[in-house]
A and B are shown apart, each in its own frame.
Chain A
Amino acid sequence: MNKLIQIFQKMQSVDRRYIFIVVALSIIIPLLIPFNSKTYVTEPTESIYRKIDSFANDKSKAVLLSFTHNASTMPELFPMEVAVLRHCFERNIKVFTICWLPDAAPLVDYAINTAKEDYNVQSGIDYCNFGYRPYSLRIPIMLGMGENIAESVETDSQGRKLDNLPIMDNIKNYDDMNLVIDFAGSSSAIQWVMYARAKFGANVAAGITAVMVADNYPYLQTGQLIGMFRGLKGAAEYEKLVDVFASYESPDYPNGRPFSKEIIKETWVPITDDKIPYKYKKARIGMNAQSVAHIMIIVFILLGNIGYFLTRQKKKKIV
């Protein structure tokens, strides 16, 4: 027993840099040697998928992706954005993008370019980037889009008049652009809930970093957010949904198959084969590393607590 206590005492005084090394290795090894693990799809992610999928091939409906983040939150948010854009391109859904921070503008282009490489889509016809709009104009633009998008935003990122773009046919306000997904490392989706949902009845969803999940849950629970991507896990779930349904190809379903709860429960998408490009499984590979790192952290917490209680017991005995 004394030896065990001594070991734990030594462990408690170990240089924290050794712990950093262990955590780093627990991430590096699963990334270098990916393994297949199951990704369970949860209700908040599934709701967003089903809503977007209901717009498939409908030229009178569109999705707006609002980028309210910069590069610092890219590891969590970028895979979500690529997965949603891929879904829209797969299912022939009109998609608009807008960003509110100066350094988000290149991220929007990067996300669109990453997703469109594999699809025959054109700017102004299949998708449209409104570009950067100052954050101070966010509320007027949000409210303005409820009346008329073309009058509120006026031009796209290339300076073209929105009225002249084919993508704007049948798209006037939130009745048509009926889903807004806000990607952010903050609670900025709540602004969409306040101004676009409460006032105009737009459907709002949030793609947020894991830190912000607890803050946004009340709005999900009350149904004011129709769905929520919760950090890297949410991105991994959506990647799987797109693989299993939207990009599924067979003689029966040449353009993807419809969503089914039974299929998603039973289907297991292996990420170690080369059929799926790396960019479309980045979040799932990341989640493997995430799982290993979490196990390591749990082990450290347990060891730390055992050591603490053992040494406390010993101190009590001495006293």
Chain B
Amino acid sequence: MYETISNFVAAFLTLSIFSFLYKDNPFYKFAEHLLVGVSMGYAIPVLYENVFIPYVYIPIFLNHDFIIIIPSLLGVLYILRFSKNLSWLARYPITFTMGIVGMGVPLSLHTSVLVQMRSAMLPLDNINTILIFIGTVTILLYFYFSKAHRGIYGKVTNMGIWFMMIGFGASFGYTVMARISLLIGRIQFLLGDWLGLIK
């Protein structure tokens, strides 16, 4: 019974969102606003239950681990962004957050630069490595703006544009696939879970 009702509600909201494809209408607006409201309404108690209680309330008030007061106060400073006079205090927790980002820099350099460079320096013994080599060099040259893209140099950088266009095309093709997948998921729900036409 509960599942039937929830399926009806979900189907109504799905169709309300799809109705935008015809034209903007009150059903679409209702579903859109409901989504924002429900998301926030759901997240606040979940965060309270899963973050505030185990990481702030229990350590400070039950375990008397008073050192937790310092990061908690730092967290509270974020709220001061809404105050005109005290908004500067919100920079302190941001400083700590940036420190965490900094901690990731060496590892990020390793995974996103050094290992990538190593794998771009393989022996040119097959078509894939040759293509990767040509693509990497021509694209890097394209982004070198201190020399005018004319003559032979211009032709080489033009090749870099072609490599990038192929990359964008692949990326766009995958995007189309993802969007169609989402539509398939919703239609599978409408036809299967709601109407029971797919077994």
Q: Is the CB–CB distance between A28 and B111 below 8 Å?
A: no
Q: Which of A113-121, A212-220, A303-311 contacts B (4 or more CB under 8 A)?
A: A212-220
Contacts of B104 in A (CB 8 A): 139, 194-195
Within 8 A of B (CB), among A2-56: 17, 20, 23-24, 27-28, 31-32
When chains A and B are docked, how far (Å) is the Cα of A199 from the Cα of B107? 8
User: Cβ of B175: which chain A residues have Cβ within 8 Å of it?
Assistant: 210-211
Q: Does B62 contact A (CB under 8 A)?
A: no
List A contacts of B22 (CB < 8 A): 17
Other-chain contact of A102, B42, B111, B188 (Cβ < 8 Å):
B42
A205 vs chain B, min Cβ distance (A)? 15
User: Are B51 and A134 interface neighbours, CB within 8 A?
Assistant: yes
B174/A210 in contact, CB under 8 A: yes
**A297→B176 CA distance, assembly (Å):** 9
B47 & A134 in contact (Cβ 8 Å cutoff)? yes
Residues 171-188 of B at the A interface (beta carbon under 8 Å): 171, 174-178, 180-188
Contact B181 A210, beta carbon cutoff 8 Å: yes
Chain B residues lying within 8 Å of A76, measured Cβ to Cβ, are 178, 181-182, 185
Contact B177 A224 (CB under 8 A): no
Shortest Cβ distance from A146 into chain B, in angstroms?
12
Q: Contact between A134 and B50 (Cβ–Cβ < 8 Å)?
A: yes
B174 partner, pick from A74, A197, A211, A219, beta carbons under 8 A: A211
Q: Does B91 contact A (CB under 8 A)?
A: no
Are B174 and A224 closer than 8 Å at their CB atoms?
Answer: no
B174 pairs with A103, CB closer than 8 A: no
- In whole angstroms, what is the CA distance A72 to B110 when docked? 32
Q: List, in ascending order, chain B residues with CB within 8 A of A294's CB.
A: 176-177, 180
Which candidate, A171-179, A249-257, A285-293, is the interface stretch facing chain B? A285-293
Select which of B46, B116, B174, B182 is within 8 A of A214 by beta carbon. Answer: B174
When distances are taken between beta carbons in the complex, the residues of chain A under 8 Å from B178 are: 76, 209-211, 231
Q: Which residues of B contact A223 (CB under 8 A)?
A: 119
> A286 contacts B188, CB within 8 Å?
yes
Within 8 Å by CB of A27, from B55, B176, B187, B198, lies B187
Contacting pair A221 B119 (CB below 8 A): yes
Q: Verify B116–A222 contact, CB threshold 8 A.
A: yes
The interface residues of chain B lying within 8 Å CB-to-CB of A190 are 111-112
Give the nearest-CB partner of A193 in chain B: B111
B167 in contact with A289 (CB, 8 Å): no
> Which residue among B118, B119, B176, B185 has the maximum number of chain A CB atoms within 10 Å of its CB?
B185
A233 CB-CB contact with B under 8 Å:
yes
Flag if A28 contacts B176 (CB, 8 Å): no
Would you list which residues of chain A between 223 and 264 have a CB under 8 Å from chain B?
A: 223-224, 230-233
Give the A-B contact count at a CB cut-off of 8 A: 133
With a cutoff of 8 Å between Cβ atoms, the chain A residues found around residue B167 in the complex are 214
Give residues 157-174 of B contacting A (CB, 8 Å): 167, 170-171, 174
> A132 to chain B: closest CB distance in Å?
5
Residues of chain B contacted by A297 (CB below 8 angstroms): 176, 180
Does B199 make an interface contact (CB < 8 A)?
yes
The residues in B between 84 and 137 inclusive whose CB is less than 8 angstroms from any CB of A are 100, 103-104, 107-108, 110-112, 115-116, 118-119, 132
Q: How far is the CB of A252 from chain B (nearest CB, A)?
A: 32
Nearest B residue (CB) for A214: B171
Say yes or no for B140: interface residue by CB 8 A criterion.
Answer: no
Inter-subunit contact A132/B107 (CB<8 Å): no
Once A75-B182, A139-B104, A210-B178 are accepted as A-B contacts, the answer to whether A224 and B115 lie under 8 Å apart by CB is yes
A274 proximity list for chain B (CB < 8 A): 199
What is the minimal beta-carbon distance from B3 to any residue of chain A, in angstroms? 12
- Which residue of B167, B175, B178, B187 has the most chain A CB atoms within 10 A of its CB atom? B178
A–B complex contacts, Cβ < 8 Å, 26 sampled: A28-B191, A31-B184, A31-B188, A73-B182, A76-B181, A132-B46, A139-B100, A139-B103, A194-B107, A199-B107, A209-B181, A210-B178, A211-B175, A213-B171, A214-B171, A214-B174, A218-B116, A222-B119, A224-B115, A231-B178, A278-B192, A285-B198, A286-B181, A290-B181, A293-B183, A294-B176
> Which 10 A/B pairs are nearest by Cβ-Cβ distance?
A75-B185, A210-B178, A102-B46, A214-B171, A210-B177, A222-B119, A210-B174, A211-B178, A194-B107, A232-B181
